[in-house]
Amino acid sequence: MSAEASAILEALDPDQREIAEALRGPVSVLAGAGTGKTRAITHRIAYGVRSGVYDPERVLAVTFTRKAAGELQGRLRDLGVEGVRANTFHGAALAQLGHFWPQFVGGDAPKLIPGKVATISHAVEALGLRFGAETLRDLAAEIEWRKVSMISIDEYAHRIDERPKLVGVDAEKMVAIQQGYQHVLEERRQIDFEDVLVLLAGMLEVEPRASLQVRERYRFFTVDEFQDVSPLQHHLLSLWLGARDDVCVVGDASQTIYSFAGAASKYLLGFGLEYPNAREFRLERNYRSVEPVVHSANRLMRDRPGALHLSPMRTEVAPQPTFEWFATEQDEARAVAQSIATALKAGTPASEIAVLYRTNAQSARIEESLTNEGIPSRVHGAQRFFDRADVRRAILLIRAQAKAGDSRPLFQVVSDMLREVGWSTKPPQGAAEREKWEALNSILAMADDQSPTTSIVEFSEELLARQRAQHEPKFEAVTLSAVHAAKGLEWKFVHVVGMSEGIFPISHAVAEHEIEEERRLAYVAFTRARDELLVSGYQSAARVSRRPSRFVSEAGILR
């Protein structure tokens, strides 16, 4: 073993090391929250490359978001490994479809639409119907579910009674809308994100030369968040593999929170049945959270199918998770804002605090209360950092200075460019202006963190790489996020609000499998906290009297 390969293994704990050394054949990693799964799989890939088992150009690492793929790529780069491809399922499939379409169909591939709602709206209007924005989004979700579940429209029509009902959309209309939507796409020669997977899978099935090219290009596969794969994604992975079995899958059944979108943990939990010679490993040492948070998470998921038992590695004295009960949502929001103000005064950075909630509609009260306290906040997922107009303009100006060969100190160049888009040395008072200032200031903070020898050209290239990977910088604002969007993130202090029956678990979760999905969502929320977990709920909402969420007592969180 080379010194470089040996050094990669030395950075791992015994369980992670076992995974890194299992380089061939099917491997399943059941990895609990905060157990270092990304560390384990990136070191496994790096060890495979350094030991000569893997050709980096033949490794494909797949995950579910561009940000996660960017993080995988960045960590591999930090380990000195170049050439490995890290991508989302859709990103990898889109690249392959664009490559194969001219060869096997001719011409350019159909144009990918950025979202479904506008096209659905046209299909709905053509049927003489009219729906609000929320119903259109629900229709988009239903179309997505059908496609990732690999169900044709005809089959869907026979199974529609099994699906949740949308207000104002009966079975006949639903089928007609799905048919109309597909017709509009075909008429315009367009495809949606699910069609990318569908078309590529079809091409690999019927064109042996296409499947041969893929299998020659990629030999070793790693799939992160495997509990979230849909039947369509699982089918595509099988086509990529062919008769081979060099695949490592990583996931946590307790974090399956996208069943409504077609995700199925059965592929993770049933991996050993699909590959009888598979080796299964477990990561249960939690490095993220203090002991009381880990114990609450374990209690919440105790005896659930596939649940892991986390062992806390942080054993310092820490506060127990707390639960507060308020009369109204407004009372809760005010108390949360005051609690955050106290934490900020004690020296906790705003970027290390998050408020998590079950539905996006809950953010308004919290945001208002934080504003009243003069606390900057940002809604995670509302607009991506690099999609902000002010950030895009700042990057363009910085890149222009790089091309001009500006030789002044980096900090001076960047601060001058940021002033042109509205940054100042003093933060403004208004919430919207403050958010813009914080975003621009985070770019300046990145420049300030560079080494003294970093040039404007090098910094410009780093910004461009971050923009492509959606690797957002940290800026000083409290994060507000729906729990679904918070998966994969962590903060020092986490407030989970609205823990009331009918809110979390949500009112339409009635069947046992729906309640279990809500439980897993609560587990994800709780395990985002590193140092302190503060849970709250309220009694009165829209003249309905509620009681505390069942998940609070089940997790052993006391009032």
pLDDT digits (tens, 9 = 90+) for 109-151: 899 999 999 999 999 999 999 999 889 999 999 999 999 999 9
- Boundary residue ending a domain (191, 223, 255): 191
Phi, psi of 209 (to 5 degrees): -70, -35
454 is in an annotated binding site: no
In a domain, 102, yes or no: no
CA distance 333 to 329: 6
Cα distances from 464 to residues 140, 352, 394, 460, 517, in angstroms, run 32, 26, 12, 6, 38
User: Each residue of 57-66: pLDDT tens digit?
Assistant: 999 999 988 8
pLDDT of residue 431: 61
Residue 405 three-state SS = coil
Handedness of CA 255, 259, 261, 262 (dihedral sign): positive
CA distance 420 to 395: 12
Q: Looking at the structure, do residues 138 and 266 belong to the same domain, yes or no?
A: no
Alpha helices (H) in 242-319, listed in sequence order: 266-269, 271-274, 291-301
Q: Looking at the structure, do residues 206 and 141 belong to the same domain, yes or no?
A: no
pLDDT of residue 432: 64
Strands 59-63 and 285-290 come out as unpaired
User: Each residue of 543-555: pLDDT tens digit?
Assistant: 778 999 999 999 9
pLDDT(275) > 80:
yes
* Closest of 232, 198, 204 to residue 218, by C-alpha: 204
115 is in an annotated binding site: no
Q: Looking at the structure, do residues 399 and 427 belong to the same domain, yes or no?
A: yes
To the nearest 5 percent, what fractions of the chain are helix, strand and coil? 55, 15, 30
331-347 mean pLDDT: 97
Question: Residue 438: which pLDDT band, with cuts at 50, 70 and 90?
Answer: confident
Question: Scanning the structure block, which residue is given the tokens 């791992």?
Answer: 12
Instruction: Say which range, 20-34, 164-178, 426-440, has the weakest mean pLDDT.
Output: 426-440
Question: Residue 223: which pLDDT band, with cuts at 50, 70 and 90?
Answer: very high
* CB-count burial class (<10 Å; 0-12, 13-18, 19+) for 316: exposed
**E strand spans, 389-438:** none
Question: Scanning the structure block, which residue is given the tokens 């009219």?
Answer: 130
Mean pLDDT score across all residues of the chain:
93
In a domain, 404, yes or no: yes
Instruction: Say which range, 49-53, 246-250, 293-297, 448-452, has the weakest mean pLDDT.
Output: 448-452
Q: Looking at the structure, do residues 376 and 350 belong to the same domain, yes or no?
A: yes
Q: How far is CA 317 from the centre of its chain?
A: 31
180 is in an annotated binding site: no
Question: Which tokens sit at 24?
Answer: 């061939």
Contact 162, 91 (CB under 8 A): no
Question: Residue 385: which pLDDT band, with cuts at 50, 70 and 90?
Answer: confident
Strands 59-63 and 220-223 come out as parallel
Contact 443, 391 (CB under 8 A): yes
Q: Looking at the structure, do residues 390 and 529 belong to the same domain, yes or no?
A: no
pLDDT of residue 244: 95
Question: Residue 525: which pLDDT band, with cuts at 50, 70 and 90?
Answer: very high
CATH of the domain at 88: 3.40.50.300
Q: What's the predicted TM-score (pTM) here?
A: 0.86
38 is in an annotated binding site: yes
Q: Looking at the structure, do residues 27 and 134 belong to the same domain, yes or no?
A: no
489-514 mean pLDDT: 95
pLDDT of residue 64: 87
Please tell me the total count of domains within the chain.
Answer: 4
pLDDT of residue 1: 67
Contact 76, 45 (CB under 8 A): yes
303-322 mean pLDDT: 95
User: Each residue of 181-217: pLDDT tens digit?
Assistant: 999 999 999 999 999 999 999 999 999 999 999 999 9
pLDDT of residue 542: 62
Q: CA torsion angle for 467, 470, 474, 478 (degrees, to 10)? A: 130
CA distance 284 to 310: 5
35 is in an annotated binding site: yes
Residue 546 three-state SS = coil
Question: Scanning the structure block, which residue is given the tokens 């306290």?
Answer: 373
Q: Looking at the structure, do residues 335 and 205 belong to the same domain, yes or no?
A: no
In a domain, 106, yes or no: no
pLDDT of residue 556: 95
In a domain, 105, yes or no: no
CA angle 61/470/43 to nearest 5° reads: 35
36 is in an annotated binding site: yes
pLDDT of residue 381: 72
Q: What is the DSSP letter of 415?
A: H
Domain assignment of residue 342, given as a range? 291-382+477-554
pLDDT(384) > 80:
no
Q: Looking at the structure, do residues 511 and 537 belong to the same domain, yes or no?
A: yes
pLDDT of residue 468: 79
In a domain, 428, yes or no: yes
CA distance 401 to 257: 45
Q: Looking at the structure, do residues 139 and 186 belong to the same domain, yes or no?
A: yes
pLDDT(430) > 70:
no
Instruction: Say which range, 109-113, 146-150, 261-265, 280-284, has the weakest mean pLDDT.
Output: 261-265
Q: Looking at the structure, do residues 277 and 203 belong to the same domain, yes or no?
A: yes
Phi, psi of 180 (to 5 degrees): -65, -40
Contact 478, 350 (CB under 8 A): yes
In a domain, 99, yes or no: no
- Boundary residue ending a domain (445, 469, 493): 469
359 is in an annotated binding site: no
CA distance 443 to 449: 10
Q: Looking at the structure, do residues 481 and 378 belong to the same domain, yes or no?
A: yes
pLDDT of residue 40: 97
In a domain, 98, yes or no: no
Q: Looking at the structure, do residues 229 and 256 belong to the same domain, yes or no?
A: yes
- Boundary residue ending a domain (147, 168, 191): 191
8-32 mean pLDDT: 96
